[in-house]
Amino acid sequence: MTVATFIGAILALLTLETMFWLLAGVLVGIIVGGLPGLGPPLGMAIILPLTIPLNAADAIILLVGVYSGSMYGGSIAAILINTPGVSSSAATMFDGYPMSKQGKAATALSISATASAFAGLFTIAALILFSPVLIQMVLAVGTPERFLVALLGLSMITVITRGSFAKGLLAGAAGLLVTTVGSAQPIAIDRRYAESLLLYDGIDFVAVLIGLFAIAEMMKLAGQEGGIAEGDVVIDRAGIKDGIVETVRRPVTVFKSGMIGMIVGAIPGAGATVSNFVAYSEAVRASPDPDTFGSGNPVGVVASEASNNGTVAGSLVPAISFGIPGSSSTAVLIGGLLMHGLQPGPSMFQVEGELGLTYTMLLALLVGNVVILIFGLSAVTRLGYLTKIDTDYIIPIVIVLSFLGTYALRINPIDIVTIIVFGIIGFYMVRYNYSVIAFVLGVVLGDIAESNLYTALQISGGTYDIFYNPFAYGRPLSFVLTVTILLLLFGPLVKGQLNRLRGE
Amino acid sequence: MGQDESTTADELIAGVRSVQRVLGDAIEPVLRERPTMEHVLLVLFLVTGAYMYLAAREFPAVVAEFPQLMAGATVLLSFLILARNYLNVVAPLLTAGIGAYAVYTGGMSFLDGDGGLIRVVFGIVLLVVTIGYRQQLVKGAESFIAEPMQVLGKEDILDEDLEEGVEKNRAEATGESQEIEEAEDTEGADTEEEPDSGAMYVYEIDDPKGPVVTGVLCVAYMLVTFAIGMLYATPLFVIAWALWVKMEFPKAAALTGVGMLCSYLFYDLIQSDIAEGWLTGWEPAPPDVLYAMYINPLVQPILQLIDRYIIFPILDLIGTVVPLGVIPL
């Protein structure tokens, strides 16, 4: 039955219309990723409202195409002008830009395209191969466990927060608070906080995401100068072949970095930025010649670019399995699923549910990586144009698309207020080191956590035993999850105190 | 976005800054640090959380617990961060308060035969920690709340130059090197505006006016949208932006055209309701209707009059731009 669904997914993907949206998504992604200051979540957030007229499959394929394409596109600005198009390409700058200065821009861009595509291909292929096991795991998870998995996702705030721990928790709590506006799920009791009927459906989480990612980013960009290439970088076509050879000669680095990307990507909130640096550091550690990193070592570019495209596959696992975003981009993807009436969770893995769509999405990513390879290599000499577009033109158009897209979704004036308010809040949150991803985790997981908590308590007759007593309800997984959450939450504090006591 | 010469906006910003300075001087002794926009953000969280906590009391009990819990956490954490320079007093008081509350409510539930023992134990633990381990509690609260910079203090940072190299290596391995480098780059740029913010994040703001003007223009865009609908508010926003960045006329016209095209495509293909002003209920005629009117021979004499007495004089005022003209009768 699953095989039949898989074959059905292949046939669904091979229609002209679906392939067109995939191609469009990847190309738009490369452009968005290549424009300094923009990135996958912003590109996806702007595209999201434009998918309204599309059917669910095409809409999701367009979004994952943008996601995958922008991961590669981010390397273009990093290599050519030492400004990462996306933060997940930051480590690419370390060696990509020096290569560019040495006249090897084409080689670096070619390495980027090849490593991105290869890592993307095998991580998605691994995900497809692993999917039968994943399906069994997801279907074994019941309502209490889904609540705990959502809580586990929220606990990841303690892992992803750098600097002040309290700031990370505050961001998460504030994000959760946003989800309490509007009718409470799953029992639809009015919870508006004010008389206005405009708040009845709550604060639209797509509007929150657009505010946080698009408006806040544009405000930030408006305060920055640069990000645009001042001089022309020479991109010699002859270097393309060298780049392919450099990548093919290093299958271990591509594989290892891709797997690092995939594993780190599956951790909620960690995302490609973290995996990018972890893979780069590992490449430096494993190299017999670590001193050459930072001055144009091609291995640095291979590691960095393989890892960020590997992250795409990893971050999809918690997103489609439990509705937990592995990254900001998958938060927007979850928004796309919900907008088109698809609920992340077991139904995405049931043959009678949306398993066909899940397979189509994964296959689309597989094909998308081939598009990246072909486009990336054939357009190497022209990619420099992207870095020359003035931010004065980008900012108003992104803001206009954000406003239009958000308002057109529901024609609710609250949504426009939302994008402005959260745009300003997002701007200052980033400026003062409050984790935006923790806030997004809260916004995305609030409804999931609350509705599953409510249903679980209905099952248990109101007692919380169901979450931690492995004997009372025959749910050992609940107990394991509860212990993991407690370790995540209090582990750092206890460890800090123990270290302090030892020091004294 | 270079705006070198002094303009009205500059004067306005200078006025705002002087008000900021006066307010800052007044609030600084209370906070024991220079107030920044971070404090505004925290007060926003605090007030919103408190309002939502109180408002949630009106909800049925079954749906009130979750928002109250989240609002409570938001209020508590915002307050703790705001009071980060008073942690030696606030942390023990707050812990004792929470402990006492847990013992009281847990005890009442226990006496009613409704559980609550865990809450009582939790409360007692908190009270014991407050009384017996106050020093450790305060230190723990400091490391929980403050940024590493704030915990160390300026002298410590100066003394620990040697450790900086080690820290940089660690940061490189964990992905923080970019942030650190940017923070170092931007220290100078930001100190003038917000000198004592230990929590200052990391990216470069070359022109502080940029984000402010962008925010103001977004608010104006929203208000005009509510008045006349988004179809025509969009090109007006783009024109305002082009004026702010002093874009050359042909480029500004092209950008406005792109903006208008975007809004028209949304209007025509996705959602025609965007053309209506929510506050006024007014829906200006869309471009296709205007064009139909424009080419209507019956309207041409009126348009010629409008051109002669309104449009041409305005264009003359703006500059030597060739008017679009009307269809000759």
Cα–Cα distances in angstroms (integers) from residue A136 to residues A85, A132, A226, in the given order = 38, 6, 50
What is the ipTM score, two decimals? 0.76
pLDDT digits (tens, 9 = 90+) for B117-160: 888 898 999 999 888 888 888 888 888 886 655 444 443 333 34
CB contact under 8 A, A411 and B201: no
For chain A (504 residues), the mean pLDDT of every run of 10, in chain order, is: 82 90 91 76 83 87 89 82 68 84 86 90 88 77 82 74 80 91 74 76 84 87 65 70 89 91 77 77 84 85 88 85 79 86 82 85 88 84 73 89 86 92 92 85 83 83 77 79 84 72 67
CB contact under 8 A, B238 and A427: no
Closest Cα partner for B289 from B309, B308, B275?
B275
Residues of chain B with pLDDT under 50: 1-3, 5, 150-202, 321-329
Which of A432, A501, A504 best tests the B interface by mutation, with the highest count of B CBs <10 A? A432
Running DSSP on this structure, what letter comes out for residue B175?
A: T
**What pLDDT does B147 receive?**
67
Which of A155, A177, A189, A419 best tests the B interface by mutation, with the highest count of B CBs <10 A? A177
> Which secondary structure element, helix H or strand E, spans residue B73, and what is its range?
helix B61-82
Which of B47, B66, B261, B272 best tests the A interface by mutation, with the highest count of A CBs <10 A? B66
Query: What whole-number distance in Å separates Cα of residue A456 and Cα of residue A501?
Result: 40
A427 shares contact with chain B (CB less than 8 Å): yes
Cα–Cα distances in angstroms (integers) from residue A12 to residues A30, A345, A405, in the given order = 24, 22, 28
Backbone angles phi, psi at A433, to 5 degrees: 70, 35
Cα–Cα distances in angstroms (integers) from residue B221 to residues A217, A416, A450, B84, B289, in the given order = 17, 10, 35, 38, 24
Q: Which residue has the tokens 């918690």?
A: A318
Contact A44, A331 (CB under 8 A): no
Contact A168, A438 (CB under 8 A): yes
Which positions 122-161 of A are in contact with B (Cβ < 8 Å)?
none
Closest Cα partner for A220 from A423, A405, A438?
A423
Question: Which of B74, B80, B147 minimises the CB distance to A177?
Answer: B74
Residue of A nearest to B247 (CA): A392
**What pLDDT does B193 receive?**
43
Contacts of A171 (CB under 8 A, 6+ apart): A157, A429, A434, A435, A436, A438, A439, A442
CB contact under 8 A, B199 and A274: no
> For chain A, what are the domain ranges?
2-229+241-462, 463-504
Contact A112, A92 (CB under 8 A): yes
DSSP-derived 3-state class of residue A474: coil
Which positions 302-361 of A are in contact with B (Cβ < 8 Å)?
none
Our CA dihedral for A7, A8, A13, A18, rounded to 10 degrees, sits at 180
Closest Cα partner for A410 from B314, B192, B271?
B271
Contact B307, B295 (CB under 8 A): no
Question: Environment class of residue A322 by beta-carbon count within 10 Å: exposed (0-12), middle (13-18) or buried (19+)?
Answer: buried
